[in-house]
Amino acid sequence: MSEAVPVVALRDVEKSFGAVRALRGAGLELHAGEAHALVGENGAGKSTLIKILAGLYRPDAGAIEIDGEPVDLHDPSAAIAAGIAVIYQEPALFGDLTVAENLFIGRQPRGRLGRIDRAAMDRDATALFERLGVLLEPDRPAKGLSIADQQLVEIAKAISLDARVLVMDEPTAALTSREVERLFDVVRALRAKGTAILFISHRFDEVEALCQRVTVMRDGAHVSTDPMGEVTVDELIRRMVGRELAAMFPRGEAAPGEVVLDVEGLASAERCRDVSFQVRAGEIVALAGLVGAGRSEVVQAVFGVAPREAGRVRVLGRDLPSGNPRAAMRAGVALVPEDRRQQGLLLDLSVMRNATLVRRGRLARFGFLTGAAEQREAAEWTGRLQAKYGRLTDPVATLSGGNQQKIVLAKWLATGPRLLIVDEPTRGIDVATKAEVHRLLSDLAADGVAVLMVSSELLEVLGMADRTLVMREGRLAGELPRADATEEAVMRLATGQTAEAR
Amino acid sequence: MSRKRLLSITASLLAGVLIAASACGGTTRGDDEGDGPTGTGGTANPDAEYRTGLSFAMLPKQVNNPYFEASSTGAETVAAELGGEYEFTGPSDASASSQVSYIDTLSQQATDVILLSANDPNALCSSLDQARSGGSVVVTFDSDVDPACRDLFVSQVDSAEVGLALLEMTAEQIDGTGEIAVLSATANATNQNAWIDVMRAELESNPSYADMELVEVVYGDDEDEKSFSETQGLLQAHPDLRAIVSPTTVGIAAAARYLSGSEYQGQVALTGLGTPNQMREFVKDGTVTEFALWDPTALGELAAYTGAAAASGIITGAEGEVFTAGDLGEYTVGADGVVTLGPPTRFNAENIDDFDF
Amino acid sequence: MSDRAPADAAPLWSALRRFASWDAVIIAATALFLVVAASTVEHFGTARNAGHIIVDLAPVLLLALVMTLIVATGEIDLSVASTVGLTGAAMGWMWNHGIALETIMPLTVLLGALLGAVNGLFITGFGLPSLAVTIGTLALYRGLAYVVLGDTAVADWPRDFTGWTLGTIGDTGVPNIVVPLIALALVVGLVLHCTPIGRAVYAAGANPVAAAYSGIAVGRLKCWLYVASGAMAGLVGVFWTLRYSSARADNAYGLELTVVAVVLLGGVSIFGGKGRLPGVLAAVVLLTALQNALRLAHVSTETLTVVTGALLIAAVLAPNLLTAAGDALRSRRRRAAASL
Amino acid sequence: MTIPAPTRTPTGSTVLDLVLRFRALGLLLALAVLVGATASVNARFLSGQSVRDLLFAAAVTVLLACGMTTVVLTRGIDLSVGSTLGLAAYLTADAMSGGVPVPLAVLIGLLVGLACGAANGAIVHFGKVPPLVATLGTLYVFRGIVYFTAGGSRVNASDLPGGFLDFGNGTLLGVPYLFLIAAAVLAVVALFLRDYRSGRDLYALGSNPEAAALAGIPAGRRLMTAYALSGTLAGLGGVLYAARFGTVDASAGYGMELDIVAAVVVGGVAIFGGSGTVLGAALGALLLTVIDNALPVLSIPPFWQQAIVGALILAAIALDRLVALRAARALRKKGSHVG
């Protein structure tokens, strides 16, 4: 089968963004009737590769072939026309349109005089949802859907395209195991009909359950491609990481000290309820769970960027007022947020401005800021974290993901926090930087800083956390000490399934 | 939280200022009875010749207005006759602040004669003072400023005469009984208000108008559309309205257009000040019986002659001085430096075809 | 993974862009224009004309000072001119009611601040788009100005005060108004470029979410900017009334468009986060001097209207085209380099 | 595993419907109250002539509000409509007074509008200039062009063909032709926005531009369509303006853009795109026109008119915000869910 001409092939694709080389010689072949897994660490270039397939990016070099013929996917409609459907990691729906219209935008069924036939559209949508086993009303607006439902709409949309190639970028990150099960049934049926599938996931059990072939990527380049049965999961992980696991997660024994953070009965914006936990000085506590389980909401409510509706947050014995990040900062709390580009950085502003933003008041003399003080401070902290950039005045957008993350860390470490909250600290950064960040967190904990870490990457959770708190649907589902924290245990708590259901 | 603080800061500031002011007293209305520069001074030489080579500039309320275009034609002719330079310049919006900039520019260029139709009686004064101290002669026409700020004002007609003529035409058309209303330009247009005041006074005092009542004055701002809808409003608000008087060319045309297309045509009389070209159609279709106006071209001519006379030293703006304005004949300066063009011409079905402006 | 790509294709290009920032361009253009106009347009280069230009630009400049901050936070205030009108009208009303001018002036500024606070409350308190809110208050405040004063004008202002607005410092020929203009521009410039508040303004404009995550109270900051904008409009209301010695409901009608135009022309991004005060100041001078020169050169008003509009579009279009051209150049070079 | 048959809970659609209907209902209610109050003061407000006047006045506003809605839906705004109207009105009237046959002159007006709209669209889409800035600029430019061409001249009613003016002031069964045209345009645009793919694309573009790009919606073509439509309708508005008023000078339509934006906002079209209907915008336009006409009848000084419009805009957006928050809460409470 693999001898046949691949439906889609990417050859030696390169792509840079400003100074960042996201892809450097990536390749991939997708065959009809075959599910192909693409694995790699965050930042390995998988998402960029997919966006090239989707026609969102044009490669700087290399070729895209469909049925052996080179093509130019200059925009998303060209990719759609070529039979490529993509389910993106982050759902992008039209909040003002109905669910059914979201599915069929641009290709709504038409009746007389070319008018949209809404009844037919709703019927088609209902049929699709039935296939996926979902109860969604086609005529409700997409606004207000949960992340899982949004993802289901995206999946239904991609499936309805009847594409020759279906690309799925972590479609299951927000889904319960039952929803995943249904999805896989549908995907297997499509595969049997001859659709080529590209599947990206961090969960190796899913990869093994669905795929026949697996490609590993690391740092923007192709590492290996093998039939699924011929490599072990451990070998795949080794290839993804490219170094020994011990070097990745340099975590020694923790010696927890006094209670730094004490959360009681926290509730916020209908996304998390009744959450209580403590974090001590010198320990790293992980918050794990599915996407949308309410982990980020918890840390946002703790820091005060989201108001809390109930509960109490105490730092070093002092109550924090609700919805007041400045009070939290004064109490020694720092939050490195989940979305670096949206929440962490002012992309158009310089490295210096970003690095000194939260310290701007302290750096002022008689209320005035002279560039010199800011420059000194920025140079010192970016230097300590070994961030690489051209000039302090370069816009931070020109840096690579890893260095951007270091700027965010520098900005917060400069405040000398007692409690450091990191939300997805290694999302979208290269392996080398990842290891550096892990070492940094370890060192900080060793220095007596309390660290609260939200992470979707199980390897990271298992490798770094002294304790793991698992959340499900806005509540704490359980706590696992380092010794009991295994992939299965965490996933069981996160999905709320008994072992045999999987 | 911050809002509460804001409020309290505001309140205490307010209280503080008020207390301070009431305790100390300050500059209040009436403290300062200003005495600006008046008259050009000097003596007139009635026998002097018009100087040649004078520079004239006409600054209308706004450019892009046919009425002022007509005045400009008149002034330009005179300027050419006297061998002078002529410029027609001004803002495209009828605001006083834009006119100030133009006056500044003209005084900068040391224009000899500035012919101005003012958008505000006071706002232009300081700029005009500057221009005059720089040697320019300022002659207002059509709409005046504070007499202290200009040399002469060329009035299209005597205020009393216009007011009386308007009332007379109205009374003739409605047999001297019923409700009447006025559709004016802007409420602080000096000339409009003077005429309306005359009308009010006359309605009160003259027994032959005892049965007529002025029920409302509305303002169309000299905008076509606004005047149009104000006419609509008048007719709805006053079901017994017999006549509309619109002493502005824009207003009367808009009102006529509305009436001619409505059921009120022929029921409600319309008179006022309008140009024959704009009103011809409505006179012919019976919407309008008679209206009046002076000749804007002649107004422009007279303004230019007046300015030239003042710049040549023939007159100074003192009451009683006499000068000859070319073919227009001899004019006498009245009180407050006002020169009056003459009685308005009345237009009706019989004579309207004799005019083209 | 190396963190900086190998020497990027166009170091020259980026250097050029650094120096050719828009506010540098506009300042250079303004200087060039002043020189050329002074030597070619009769009467332009005189001290007296310079005085006229300065007095003419004062209202726009004052309003643009705070507008720069507001636009830098990614918001807009279209109600400034109406606030000038309403505060002027209120000033006339108070004068008619026998209140002392010394009391009226601070009260007028205060009223402006209150009107600005209403904007701020709607925008930051209720989370409504500033464009829609200030279009609403644009109509509301102008309407209230007419309600207060109708179509009448209050004109009997004491000469001591009206004279000051147009007067000069001693015999120097330098207008009095220059002193407060420079002082206020300095204060706003320092706040924007040299204080933590200024940093917060840019942060709030560049990315309000990230700013909030950095402990900046974005809503409160914006609310205070609207209060400042209103107070400045109140101040302009006082100046306008005294300068034209006429308080009227239609004072400064339509001026908001000019203010927005100079701010954008000065290189402040309508999306916030970018732009510097010197560029805006230069744009104010350029636009006013251009109008003055065109009038002196007997060029019609129509040209002025077209030039203003075209400049406004060009101010945003030109950098966009430059960036697009730069990107095209870079990616072509990169593709060429990759294919070697 | 058995999947239970989907049982339909009524929430989804009815919440949305209620919001939309509530919005339109609110406007209708306000209209009814206003008309009722005015008529009780002066019964003539409901006379045939008065209603006709109202419809005459509303016709042009409704037309422009339709165009503005399509632009605002895409997260844009078109501040140049007043200037476009002025340009089209003047050129049409000038052409007619110069002897160009009426149909050709009308075509000129439409084409002028189309050209202005296309210019806006091109600057916004290809130049990546924010709509507010682009159309603020063209507001000046187009008005400047009118000044250039018109100068101080004015086209008077007597210069225009009688048939054209009769049409402008004529009625069919008591309804002005102009209003019939506006109503027809309203119906067509409403149908286009509701029932045609490209119409729905406009909502999608305004709702989530990134998602629209992913879905392969041709943003450029759609934006051009929206701005061109707005321009063309402003051009048509100019033609109707000339027919109605007969007198056209360089200031026709001056300052009109704010009225139109106000009508659209009051009509419930979200200023940041994605939601709202032309019907709502038309109701908003009608409401503002009725206010205009009712004030003199109620003997409220005309000075209040602008203040009332301003207060209405603020009330409308605050109300929309409130309704949206409520609806969002209601929607979030109900999930889908897998059985």
Residue-level pLDDT at A497: 65
Do B55-157+296-342 and B159-293 agree at the fold level?
Answer: yes
CB-CB under 8 Å, B63 with D152: yes
Decide if A176 touches D, using CB distance below 8 A: yes
Question: What is the spatial distance between Cα D282 and Cα A307, in angstroms, rounded to a whole number?
Answer: 40
Question: What is the spatial distance between Cα A258 and Cα D55, in angstroms, rounded to a whole number?
Answer: 76
Question: Number of B:D CB contacts under 8 A?
Answer: 84
Indicate the residue of D139, D148, D310 with minimum beta-carbon distance to C136. Answer: D310
Counting as contact any 3 or more CB pairs under 8 A, the partners of B are C, D
* Per-residue pLDDT tens over the stretch D52-106: 888 888 999 999 999 999 999 999 999 999 999 999 999 999 999 888 999 999 9
Tell me the H-state helices in A161-305: 177-192, 204-210, 233-241, 245-248, 295-303
Where are the strands (E) in A449-502, listed by range?
450-454, 467-472, 475-481
* Per-residue pLDDT tens over the stretch B209-242: 989 999 999 888 777 777 888 898 888 888 899 9
DSSP state of C204: H
Cβ-Cβ contacts under 8 Å, C262 against chain D: none
Q: Is the dihedral of CA C108, C109, C111, C112 positive or negative?
A: positive
Cβ-Cβ contacts under 8 Å, B27 against chain C: 100-102, 158, 160-161
CB-CB under 8 Å, C264 with D133: yes
CB-CB under 8 Å, B224 with D247: yes
Q: Which residues numbered 241-300 in B keep a CB inside 8 Å of some CB on C?
A: none
C-alpha distance from B109 to closest chain C C-alpha (Å): 7
Cβ-Cβ contacts under 8 Å, C335 against chain A: 60-61
C-alpha distance from B154 to closest chain C C-alpha (Å): 23
Reported ipTM: the value is: 0.83
Cβ-Cβ contacts under 8 Å, C106 against chain B: 13, 17
**C323 is written with which tokens?**
């960036």
Q: Where are the domains of chain B?
A: 55-157+296-342, 159-293
CB-CB under 8 Å, B262 with D53: yes
DSSP state of B51: P
Cβ-Cβ contacts under 8 Å, D275 against chain A: 96
CB-CB under 8 Å, C139 with D309: yes
As a whole number, mean pLDDT of residues C15-32 equals 75
Residue A198: CB atoms within 10 A of its CB come to 25
Question: Number of C:D CB contacts under 8 A?
Answer: 146
H/E element holding B244? Answer: strand B241-246
Homologous superfamily in CATH for domain B159-293: Response regulator (3.40.50.2300)
Cβ-Cβ contacts under 8 Å, D136 against chain C: 257, 260-261, 309, 312
- Exposed / middle / buried, residue D48 (Cβ in 10 Å: 0-12, 13-18, 19+): exposed
Question: What is the spatial distance between Cα C326 and Cα C310, in angstroms, rounded to a whole number?
Answer: 23
Q: Kindly identify which residue of chain A lies nearest to residue D328, measuring between CA atoms.
A: A144
| DSSP helix/strand/coil, B87 | strand
Indicate the residue of C126, C305, C312 with minimum beta-carbon distance to D321. Answer: C126
Domains and CATH numbers, chain D: 25-35+44-321 (1.10.3470)
Are A183 and A132 within 8 A, CB to CB? Answer: yes
Rounded (5°) CA angle A258-A263-A265: 150
CB-CB under 8 Å, D128 with C142: no
C-alpha distance from D136 to closest chain C C-alpha (Å): 7
Q: Kindly identify which residue of chain D lies nearest to residue C310, measuring between CA atoms.
A: D137
Show Cβ contacts of residue D19 under 8 Å, excluding neighbours closer than 6 positions.
Answer: D323, D324, D327
CB-CB under 8 Å, C49 with B34: no
Question: What is the spatial distance between Cα A79 and Cα A62, in angstroms, rounded to a whole number?
Answer: 17
Q: Kindly identify which residue of chain B lies nearest to residue C93, measuring between CA atoms.
A: B29
Question: Number of A:C CB contacts under 8 A?
Answer: 105
Residue-level pLDDT at A429: 76
CB-CB under 8 Å, D302 with B218: yes
Cβ-Cβ contacts under 8 Å, A136 against chain D: 336
pLDDT band at B23 (very low <50, low <70, confident <90, very high): very low
pLDDT band at B5 (very low <50, low <70, confident <90, very high): low
Question: What is the spatial distance between Cα D20 and Cα D275, in angstroms, rounded to a whole number?
Answer: 10
**Residue among B29, B35, B125, B143 with most chain C CBs within 10 A, to mutate:** B29
**C319 is written with which tokens?**
């950098």
Phi and psi, residue C66, nearest 5°:
-75, -35
Q: Kindly identify which residue of chain C lies nearest to residue A299, measuring between CA atoms.
A: C213
pLDDT in tens, chain A (502 residues): 445 788 999 999 998 876 677 888 888 899 999 999 998 877 778 888 988 999 888 888 888 999 988 988 888 888 888 899 998 877 889 988 999 999 998 888 888 888 999 899 999 999 988 888 888 888 888 887 877 788 889 888 888 888 899 999 888 877 777 888 888 888 898 899 889 999 988 778 888 889 999 999 888 889 999 998 888 888 888 888 776 666 777 777 777 889 999 999 999 877 788 999 999 999 999 999 888 888 999 999 999 998 888 899 999 999 999 989 999 999 999 999 988 888 999 988 999 999 999 988 888 888 888 888 889 989 999 888 888 888 888 888 888 778 889 999 999 999 999 999 999 888 777 777 888 899 999 999 999 999 999 998 888 888 899 999 999 888 999 999 988 888 888 888 888 765 443 3
At the second CATH level, the architecture of B55-157+296-342 is 3-Layer(aba) Sandwich (3.40)
Show Cβ contacts of residue A249 under 8 Å, excluding neighbours closer than 6 positions.
Answer: A438, A459, A460, A463, A464
H/E element holding C80? Answer: helix C80-96
Cβ-Cβ contacts under 8 Å, A18 against chain C: 5, 8
As a whole number, mean pLDDT of residues D208-216 equals 88
Show Cβ contacts of residue A14 under 8 Å, excluding neighbours closer than 6 positions.
Answer: A21, A23, A24, A25, A26, A59, A60, A61, A62, C338
Indicate the residue of D12, D214, D333 with minimum beta-carbon distance to A92. Answer: D214
Domains and CATH numbers, chain A: 8-93+145-241 (3.40.50.300), 243-332+417-502 (3.40.50.300), 344-416 (no CATH)
Q: Which residues numbered 297-336 in B keep a CB inside 8 Å of some CB on C?
A: none
Decide if B229 touches D, using CB distance below 8 A: yes
| DSSP helix/strand/coil, A472 | strand
Question: What is the spatial distance between Cα B232 and Cα B135, in angstroms, rounded to a whole number?
Answer: 49
Residue-level pLDDT at B9: 62
Cβ-Cβ contacts under 8 Å, C212 against chain A: 305, 325
Phi-psi region of C250 (alpha: psi -120 to 50; beta: other; left: phi over 0): alpha
Cβ-Cβ contacts under 8 Å, D158 against chain B: 277-278, 280-281
If one compares D213 and D335, the residue with the highest pLDDT of the two is D213
Phi-psi region of A108 (alpha: psi -120 to 50; beta: other; left: phi over 0): beta
CB-CB under 8 Å, C301 with B6: no
Decide if B221 touches D, using CB distance below 8 A: no
Residue-level pLDDT at D4: 40
Show Cβ contacts of residue C158 under 8 Å, excluding neighbours closer than 6 positions.
Answer: B27, B31, B32, B34, C101
- Exposed / middle / buried, residue B328 (Cβ in 10 Å: 0-12, 13-18, 19+): middle
CB-CB under 8 Å, D314 with C122: yes
Q: Kindly identify which residue of chain A lies nearest to residue D337, measuring between CA atoms.
A: A135
Residue in the block written with tokens 């209403």: C118
Q: Which residues numbered 95-134 in B keep a CB inside 8 Å of some CB on C?
A: 95-97, 100-102, 104-105, 108-109, 120-126
pLDDT band at B188 (very low <50, low <70, confident <90, very high): low
Cβ-Cβ contacts under 8 Å, D138 against chain C: 309, 313
Q: Kindly identify which residue of chain B lies nearest to residue D295, measuring between CA atoms.
A: B233
CB-CB under 8 Å, C312 with D310: no
pTM reported for the whole predicted model: 0.85
Residue-level pLDDT at C35: 93
Decide if B253 touches D, using CB distance below 8 A: yes
Cβ-Cβ contacts under 8 Å, D206 against chain A: 96
C-alpha distance from C196 to closest chain A C-alpha (Å): 5
Amino acid sitting at position D239: V
CB-CB under 8 Å, B18 with C158: no
Question: Residue D216's closest CA among A164, B67, A78, B109?
Answer: A78
Cβ-Cβ contacts under 8 Å, C272 against chain A: none
Indicate the residue of D196, D204, D331 with minimum beta-carbon distance to A105. Answer: D204
